[in-house]
Amino acid sequence: MDRITLHGLRARGHHGVLPREREEGQPFIVDLVMGLDVRAAAADDDLAKTVDYGTVAEQVTAIVTGEPVDLIETLAERIAQACLKHERVQEVEVRIHKPQAPITVPFDDVTVTITRSRV
């Protein structure tokens, strides 16, 4: 299976269980790896035979900036399901970074990674 990857999609969301997270919001970073067969698209040089990663990026950003959820696990699931709605995408790995998570000790990043596929 071929892969199309988007790294570092950034958007401000209001996700989290704490009131401060919901009120103030914080940055979220999303990495996606979409699995699909791109041979037909490459042979015909035809965008319709692959996935438009610009459209996917806009959809992901809309999800992150949209309706708040408590858990980034839920956010990752919503993003994965949106990616799988694209006909050519057979599987997707979604990694959500929450670099400003409310943790009281020094840390670099918090991530949740999920993989979903058509079954």
Structure tokens at 23: 């009120």
- Model confidence pLDDT, tens digit, residues 21-36: 999 999 999 999 999 9
Name all domains of the chain by residue range, CATH numbers in brackets.
Answer: 2-95 (3.30.1130.10)
What pLDDT is stored for residue 119 in this prediction? 75
How are beta strands 26-36 and 2-13 bridged, if at all? antiparallel
Residue 5: phi and psi, rounded to 5, are -120, 135
98 is catalytic: yes
- Model confidence pLDDT, tens digit, residues 73-117: 999 999 999 999 999 999 999 999 999 999 999 999 999 999 999
Which residue of the set 36, 86, 98, 102 is catalytic? 98
